[in-house]
Amino acid sequence: MSNQFNPRDITWLSFNERVLQEAMDEEVPLHLRIRFLGIFSNNLDEFFRVRVAGLKRAMDFKDKFITESFYQPPTKILQNINDIVIQQQQNFDKTWKKIQVDMADHHIFIRNAKNLSKNHQEFVTKYFDEMVESNVIPILLNENSPMPYLRDKSLYMGIAMRKKKFQYESKFAIIEVPSKILGRFVSLPDEDNITHNVMLLEDVIAFNLPHIFSYFGYDEFQAHCFKVTKDAEFDLDNDIKTTLAEKIEKGIKSRRKGKPTRFVFDKEMDKALLEFLIRKLNLSKKDSIIPGGKIHNFRHFMDFPDVFETDLKPVERTSFDHPECVGKRITDVIQKSDILLNFPYHHFTPVIDLLREAAMDPEVKSIQITAYRLASNSKVINALINAVRNGKDVTVMLELRARFDEESNLRWKEILEQEGVKVLVGIPNKKVHAKLCVIKKRSQNKTLQYGFVSTGNFNEKTARIYGDHLLMTSDRAIMADINKIFMVLRKPKEDITTALKSCKNLLVCPTSMREKIIHHIDKEIEEAKAGRKTLIIIKSNSLSDRILISKLYEAATAGVVVKLIIRGIYCAVNQKDFKEKLMAISIVDEYLEHARVMYFYNKGSEDTYISSADWMTRNLDYRIEAAAKITQKNLKKEIKDILEIQLNDNVKGRILDKKLSNFYVKSGDKKIRSQIETYHYLREKAKV
């Protein structure tokens, strides 16, 4: 089994290593290197909250299905994970030390409690008194009392206190760092107009420990940070009297009490305090107890203060207008021809404009749209609320089970329903991940329909940093299928299979997408056996579905040319009997490669789809997903051109091989960095 597939979780760690490579790369601008360390840390937190938690749950089962689901026994994978994570943590710490040296070369310093000037000491004391002290709650620890509740995602300081006269007597305490309230970083006053000094909030607290604990008379303090990562899964109860929203709320509360899956601590922590914490948290050798550097919850460094000089930043590549959308009503444009928006290169504005136009158009009768992850101050939602206030019938399929966005989506549900929007909350046991919108208007006794299909969320914030495709269209066949999907979503208790199978143009999960993908691969296999030209190009965030991987193996064995661009999880392994070697790369760069695209040569007809679904079993069999076929010749060429640019990336492309070695692609004399080349390609098209 292990010779045919790489374990999903190990390949995910390999992806996160590619993120760490970006932080290690000295050619990457300094502020982006820091940001990549933050992304690496945030990714790892979620990995332990979800995947490691799932593996630990699976250890309780001996069923063969569990082993097949993970490709290896969970115990073996967990041990492998622990070894890899410890090694990555060491590389992380080395990288952070090197970055700090590079920051110092540019007069940027992170100060701590021991290296403050007199002026900075006065500032920190005053800042603590005015801003911090009221948010600090010290908790004294003792052997006979239960361990206080520790929150996931929070950062804690473990404090060992002593009196110089009684060195062998220690008192322990913990303090939760109030970074959620105050932010993690404190900018210290400039003293020479050259140097930028930044202090972490925990160091502000550490500097003031004698004041905090003055009542006890301690005169020696050791303070080191730690954090606990907890199981983020929650089970929804089967009480039919309870709504899904109520079950989600209950699940969020239960998540806060999840079992620890990882304990990360400063390796310089007082040994007696460390032993105390491990014992009181009921951690054992099977748990991930990971020594690290001084700083934890590094995800906050994604928002490190902007103290960098202009020459340390890359040449700005700002988003630009799609040429077909400049100075025109988007509604009129897409009645004549489809538009393909490529984010983050194109502005997200046309999507908002289309919804705003619909809200104000007296002929528009209804808007139906799916929502998975929304911006915190969503312009999409604002446009939909405006539509309701203008008398439109608005339906939003709001996926309440979008992981880690549950609370946010519950809040949006309340806001939308208060405004009169009809909110759908999905189908039991199936997340709605499709990215769809259909707008209906009645004009001159005719019903017109138009809207959009996307590979990514309708989120104007992430559209600035995620690479995605969005098709704006009035294609009748596509709109008809979107309507069918919404009919299913409106009546989730009825049999969905028959209704979704009636979709003729969209490839839909969980009914037809897998079947149609296999059909396309089979056609390429037939062509290869006949000695004719073949080509399959798949771009996806993840490739882990065993059936489709095996089908790609079959295609490569038959001689089909298969090229893959997989950002993250990649479970395929090249086999010796492949007639045509699988070409597989991963691109990790400034933007998150999020688009899903399928291309099949098909005797020259070049069938091309954009999709919301990754090639994972969960997406194909347990979610509502949709893929739209691109039929307009110029748009098909545009997507193919972008795919070719990405396949030729020899700067940020990494080879996906059996050993997960993450070697960079080395080919050709000319350097091709696909995100920059794609920007220039689309910029030139915008000028035509």
C-alpha 484/C-alpha 455 separation (Å) is 19
Phi-psi region of 397 (alpha: psi -120 to 50; beta: other; left: phi over 0): beta
Distance of CA 397 to the CA centre of its chain: 21
Angle between helices 406-419 and 244-255 (to 10 degrees): 150
Residue 362 preceded by cis peptide, ω within 30: no
Task: Return the number of other C-beta atoms located less than 10 Å from residue 187's C-beta.
Answer: 12
Name every residue whose Cβ is closer than 8 Å to that of residue 283 and which is 6 or more positions away in sequence. Answer: 260, 263, 289
Helical ranges in 504-565 per DSSP H? 513-529, 546-558
Known catalytic membership, residue 347 = no
- Residue 66: what are its φ and ψ, rounded to 5°? -65, -45
The strand pair at 562-566 and 536-540 is best described as parallel
Q: Which helix (H) or strand (E) holds 187?
A: strand 185-187
Name every residue whose Cβ is closer than 8 Å to that of residue 687 and which is 6 or more positions away in sequence. Answer: 323
Of 673, 652, 566, 596, the closest CA to residue 19 belongs to 652
Task: Return the number of other C-beta atoms located less than 10 Å from residue 57's C-beta.
Answer: 14
Of the candidates 31, 196, 433, 469, the residue annotated as catalytic is 433
C-alpha 606/C-alpha 179 separation (Å) is 52
C-alpha 610/C-alpha 345 separation (Å) is 17
Following CA atoms 544, 555, 563, 481 in sequence, which dihedral angle do they give, to the nearest 10 degrees?
A: -70
Of 554, 636, 566, 573, the closest CA to residue 600 belongs to 636
Number of Cα atoms under 13 Å in the Cβ half of residue 36: 27
661-688 CB burial, b ≥16 within 10 A, e <16: ebebbeeeeeebbbbbbbbebbeeeeee
Which residues are designated catalytic? 433
